[in-house]
Amino acid sequence: METLLQQIINGLILGSMYALVALGYTMVYGIINLINFAHGDVLMVGALTSWAIIVRMQESMPGTPGWLILLIALLISCVVAAVLNFVIEKVAYRPLRNSPKLAPLITAIGMSILLQTLAMIIFKPNYKPYPMLLPSKPFQVGGAVITTTQIMILGLTAVSLAVLMYLVNYTKLGRAMRATAENPRVAALMGVKPDMVISATFVIGAILATIAGVMYASNYGTVQHTMGFLPGLKAFTAAVFGGIGNLAGAVVGGILLGLIESIGSGYIGTLTGGVLGSHYSDIFAFIVLIIMLTLRPSGLLGERVADRA
C-alpha cells in the first residue's frame, strides 16, 4: 500500500505539470485550431531562464532566502517566455493563419527545432544541476514521502488552475476568448479584436508552461535544452486524452496521464516478469494516446464548443 500511495503522489505531481502544459495546447487549438508543437520548448526556455537567474542571484546576493530567489526567477521567466510566445505567434503563425493546415503545423515543428538550437547555443548542451532552494526535509504521509518542493508544485498548480478558470469564465478577456473560439468573424463584428485575443492566449499559455517548467526543474533537479520535448509531447497526449479544445479535459487528461504513467512505472517490472523496468514508463503515455484515438477520438470529455477558449 505504501508503494501504491507513493506512486499516486508522484502521479499527481507529474500530472499537475502535464495539465498546465496541456492547457496551453488546448487553448490555442480551441481558438485557432493550431497544434503548437513549439509549446514544450517554451517550457524549456522558461526553465533555463529561471536557472540562469537563480545561479546569478546566488552568486551576487548570497544569503537571500531560497523561496524569494525562486519567486523572482519564476516571475522574470514568465515575462521572458510570454514575450517569446507573443513574438512566435506574431512572426511564425499569424502570417499563416489562412494557409492550409499543414503549413502552420510544419512551422510549429520548425520553431521547436529553432528554439532548441538557440537554447543549446546560448546555454550550452550539457545538463545543468538545478539548485535546491526549498527545504529538502521530506514529510511522511501514510508511509509515503512528499517533499516541500512537491507540496509547492501541487499548491502552485491549484492556484494557477483557479486563476485561469476565473479568467476564462468571469472576465472580459475570457468572454472575448470564448467568443473568438465560437466564431472569430462574428466576434470581430461585435467589437472583439481576434488578433489581440489570440496573442493573449499565447501569452497565457507561455506563463502556464513556464510555471510547469520551473516546477519540473525543481522536482527533477536538472535542466537542458531538450528537456521540453518529451513533457510537451506527453502534455499534447494529455490534451487529446481529455478532449483537445476543452479546458477541463486538459486538466483531467493531464492528471490521469500522470497517474497512469507513475503507477504503471511502479508495477511494470512485476507485470512483465522483470522484462521491462521503470525506465520504460514513457510508453504508457503513447499507449494511452493510441487507445484513445482508436476508441474515442474526441477524448474523454469530448469538445464542447462553448468551452473551447
pLDDT tens figures, 205-256: 999 999 999 999 999 999 999 999 999 999 998 998 888 888 888 999 999 9
Residue 44, H or E segment: helix 39-60
Q: Is 141 helix (H, G, I), strand (E, B) or coil?
A: strand
| Cβ-proximal residues to 26 (8 Å cutoff; 6+ apart), any chain | 239, 242, 244, 245, 246, 247, 249, 250
Which residues fall within 8 angstroms of residue 10, CB to CB, at 6 or more apart? 262
Across the chain, mean pLDDT equals 88
Residue 266 has pLDDT above 90, yes or no: no
3-state secondary structure at position 222: strand
Q: How far apart are the first and last CA of the chain?
A: 40
> Is pLDDT above 80 for 284?
no
Least confident of 46-55, 93-102, 151-160: 93-102
- pLDDT (0 to 100) of residue 246: 85
88 pLDDT above the threshold of 80: yes
More reliable by pLDDT, 273 or 64 = 64
* pLDDT reported for residue 278: 63
Given this model, what pLDDT does residue 32 score? 85
Q: Could you tell me which of 4, 59, 2, 19 has the C-alpha nearest to residue 216?
A: 19
pLDDT: which is higher, 137 or 82: 82
Bridge partners of 129, per DSSP, are: 222
Stated pTM of the model: 0.90
